[in-house]
Chain A
């Protein structure tokens, strides 16, 4: 492993694992309620990939932290210990908002993961190698759906524009680098997120243009998820449901 502060590495791994855990959970809430059968299958498949990635990221985080398992981290931490970006913990909204959020996240992952596959940390590289194949497929699908609905009917266009307006202020957090990111970049484990912004804007810009949607002006960003300083009120409710059995029956094996 590269020479890096273990606490910093653990924070980085929690950010990766918590993003996929919380988004995977949100997507799984759609099960059985999608607009068309093919979407039920696709959403379950996306959630499945994300929870699979969670096992790997949190599994590694648990090793670095020591004396923990991926399940301990998922089911026994409270809100302030979660390091996911705010974007993924927002409620699903309508199908358009869910798919817009998915695209905004997939676009970031599709740029980040191929770089992580070349990480100086072989474990990070190995996880990213697997996850980047899934991300490539996810972004293709979510981009197609955003384009189809953005450039569909008047109603679908309006709904997608509303979703983009609502979610855009949560995009900036992805690129808000801090000391953890600086440590990862210095040791060659992960790129500085700020350095990925131009590529992200180009990708998202192209898809939104094709979808006939307008990216809102202004660069205001809601922050506080990836540092854990200020999550939204929504995360606590998500955890009450997700963690319920583990909390109600401590020590049981499932």
Chain B
């Protein structure tokens, strides 16, 4: 779930065209880049796909934080492969967004100057090696919850990007759980790291699904357009129900004293995350917001001469080729 709080745009289009468009979506016919679409649909999708892409890019940072300290050669390789996949996901998603008439550079600038967001989860730090396990297990686990249904989303390029991404995400989640297993079965110090990681990342993972449906004002339109496939609370419940037995198997304690099985609803009752904290993180007050944006801005600014140099060279080659013809 790398897209949160996606604001929907009201459409001022011809009601007849809108009705036709809705009928197409209801019939599960994919919308393709050349098809007519309401302006609100286009803008909402740009916001959602863009936020998702930015999350993949910023998401490299908390994991990159441990690549140089990975404890074995094999763990280093797995983590490198995972971060490489994430950069690749960013690339597919920017390409999907570009079919809606916005360039990757424009989206990047909106990320860098704070006009566009990325998932709140990446504003939390990775402090011990078990965090890398917990990110795979919980964060990728939460992302999969949302992305599996999004494979059926109405916009063709987004749906196809999601199908490719989901294949890789399930490998990411498994490697995360595998790290957690090693840690939970390891030395006392390793068990402590595993529990510490779960304590810090549990509620931020629940926040990934966005605020409660009652407060989520944009859900209805986005669900009608099949840009959003399930409500936030449905997905959060599903995530809790899936994760609790996994934590039990690891011998770790989920930091929620209200957590208990509810026979009537066939799911767990659990405590909500602190939504004040969530809104603070969105406003830029999370533990790592400043560091993350500074790192991305620095990479972009320091890289300007590289991008300019490679462009200039490509231009010279093109000119030489034209002159030779």
Contacts and interface: CB of A to CB of B under 8 A. Distances in A.
A238 to B, nearest CB: 8
Contact of B303 (A32, A34, A71, A152): A34
> What band does the interface of chain A fall in when counting residues whose beta carbon is under 8 Å from B?
35 or more
Counting contact residues on chain B (CB < 8 A from A), the size range is: 35 or more
A37 B308 contact: no
A51 B80 contact: yes
A37 B90 contact: yes
A48 B291 CA distance: 26
Interface stretch (A8-16, A161-169, A244-252): A244-252
Interface string B49-62: 00000000100110
B323 interface: no
A149 B309 contact: yes
B242 to A, nearest CB: 26
Question: Which of A21, A36, A147: most chain B Cβ within 10 A?
Answer: A36
Contacts of A253: 182, 186
A248 B257 CA distance: 33
Nearest to B311: A152
A120 interface: no
Contacts of A39: 303, 306
Interface stretch (A23-31, A107-115, A182-190, A197-205): A23-31
Contacts of A44: 80-81, 83-84, 87
A234 to B, nearest CB: 14
B71 A151 contact: no
B80 A40 contact: no
Interface in A119-159: 145, 147-149, 151-153, 155-157, 159
Contacts of A242: 68-69
Given A28-B67, A33-B295, A41 B84 contact: yes
B71 A37 contact: no
Interface string B288-317: 000000010011101111111111111010
Contacts of B72: 71, 75, 254
B286 interface: no
A152 B314 CA distance: 8
B299 A32 contact: yes
A68 B145 CA distance: 42
B311 to A, nearest CB: 8
Nearest to B179: A254
B299 A48 contact: no
B76 A153 contact: no
Contacts of A34: 299, 303
A36 B87 contact: no
Contacts of A95: 302-303, 306
A86 interface: no
A51 B73 contact: yes
Nearest to A21: B73
B77 interface: yes
B290 to A, nearest CB: 16
Contacts of B304: 35
A148 B310 CA distance: 5
Contact of B83 (A32, A36, A241, A244): A32
B94 interface: yes
A69 to B, nearest CB: 9
Contacts of B313: 147-149, 151-152
B299 A254 contact: no
A75 B310 CA distance: 38
A74 B77 CA distance: 14
Contact of A249 (B63, B83, B187, B305): B187
B129 interface: yes
B319 interface: no
B159 to A, nearest CB: 22
Given A41-B84, A252-B189, A151 B299 contact: no
A37 B89 CA distance: 10
Contacts of B80: 28, 31, 44, 47-48, 51
A35 B295 contact: no
B309 A153 contact: yes
Interface of A: 21, 25, 28-29, 31-41, 44-45, 47-48, 51-52, 54-55, 58, 70-71, 74-75, 94-96, 145, 147-149, 151-153, 155-157, 159, 241-242, 244-246, 249, 251-254
Interface of B: 57, 60-61, 63-64, 67-77, 80-81, 83-84, 87-88, 90-91, 94, 104, 129, 179, 182, 186-187, 189-190, 295, 298-300, 302-314, 316
Given A52-B77, A156-B312, 5 more contacts: A44-B81, A48-B80, A148-B309, A153-B309, A245-B129
24 contacts: A28-B76, A31-B60, A31-B83, A36-B303, A38-B91, A39-B306, A44-B80, A44-B87, A47-B80, A48-B77, A48-B80, A51-B76, A70-B73, A95-B302, A149-B306, A152-B308, A153-B305, A153-B308, A153-B312, A155-B305, A159-B305, A241-B68, A245-B129, A254-B129
